[in-house]
Amino acid sequence: MDTTFHEFSLNGYPHKIHQGDFYAGKGLGVAQILFKGYVLHVFVSHLHAEYCRSQDMFLGHRVMQALEAAQWIKLTTSGADLTIYAGDFNTEPTDNPYAIFRTVSQLSDCWAELNPEAVSEGKGGETCATPYNTYTAAWERNDFPNGKRIDYIMYSSGPNTKARAVECTLPLPVRIPSSYGAQVSYSDHEAVQATILIQDLDQEKSQEGDAPNNNLVFRRNQTKFSQARHDCVTESLELIKSAQKVVVTDMIFYAALCALSLFLFLASFSAFFLTESVFVDALVFFVRFVLVLSTIYTLFMASLFNKREKNALMSAAATLDKMVHSTKYSSI
């Protein structure tokens, strides 16, 4: 029925050319679908890659992206009968961005819902860096012997419907069939498939009936959920504040580097470099060229880009701070 795309406010750094996240323009895609009388909102996104878990310099960006996606989902799906959010989130179930999806936007994880014991043990459903995948690197096999689960299908039901996952699997075989002439995996990530059952609330009530303690159980679950959400948002706020400190440090670093590059560029015009040697002239020209590029780039980073990053993080911090301190937090 309708589609749109929203690019994330933060998408990595422009000087990380070899990674490409900044230039990919990652964001949140959404389609509104009419399916057998039900209105579905289907979201898909690809969060910033982790690259190095022990020194994750992009955690703040993923927290920001997760919060942005969660807010979009929460604020645009009130009229949907079923909301589905799927994609490569580059975050494991123990990470903060995952908790944001589960608590802020109140999404259920299909795999976790159907495999609670495996999830509690931290295994099962691995979709990336699996040992049998032909694209898995040697260092990934060492760091993640069983692989890791970073691809998800999440969902939530609308105000007049009830939904539940009845199946969640990794449907594709380990290898492309030999008839295609290639003994490789379909992708570096395993595919995820889920079946979700949706029904009207009136129909569900008529089938199950109203138990006398339903309201009590609901209130207890809501209290437990609200506490989990509060803990998640508090942790997110701390991570965003840490990212803000890093941005301020980066701005100072790039400003100092810009000043140094400019000083060296001006110093290259001193009488010391006035010689009749063609080799020296060529070398000085090359050094000046590099210094000009360095000055322009560091000036750009210290002003425009880092300022943009700082403002985006400030906006996220304000949103999270409101969630933490709102007196009507339980109703958000």
The residues annotated with a catalytic role in the active site are: 189
Cα angle at 60 between 54 and 62, to 5 degrees? 90
DSSP-derived letter for residue 7 is E
Residue type at 237?
L
Spell out where 188-308 has E strands: 193-200
Tokens of 163: 């939904």
Collect all residues with Cβ–Cβ distance below 8 Å to 68 and sequence separation of at least 6: 6, 8, 9, 28, 316
Separation CA 54–CA 285 (nearest Å): 41
State the Cα torsion 73-77-83-87 to the nearest 10°: -20
Closest CA to 284 of 261, 305, 298, 265: 265
- 65 within 8 A of 8, measured Cβ to Cβ: yes
Give 109: exposed, middle or buried? Use CB within 10 Å, 0-12, 13-18, 19+.
buried
Token pair of 26, please?
């990652």
Token reading at 193? 């498939």
Tokens of 283: 């070398």
Instruction: For residue 137, give both structure tokens.
Output: 């690197």
DSSP codes joined into one string, 45-64: EEPPP-S-STT-TTHHHHHH
Distance CA 96, CA 329 (A): 19
CA distance 129 to 148: 6
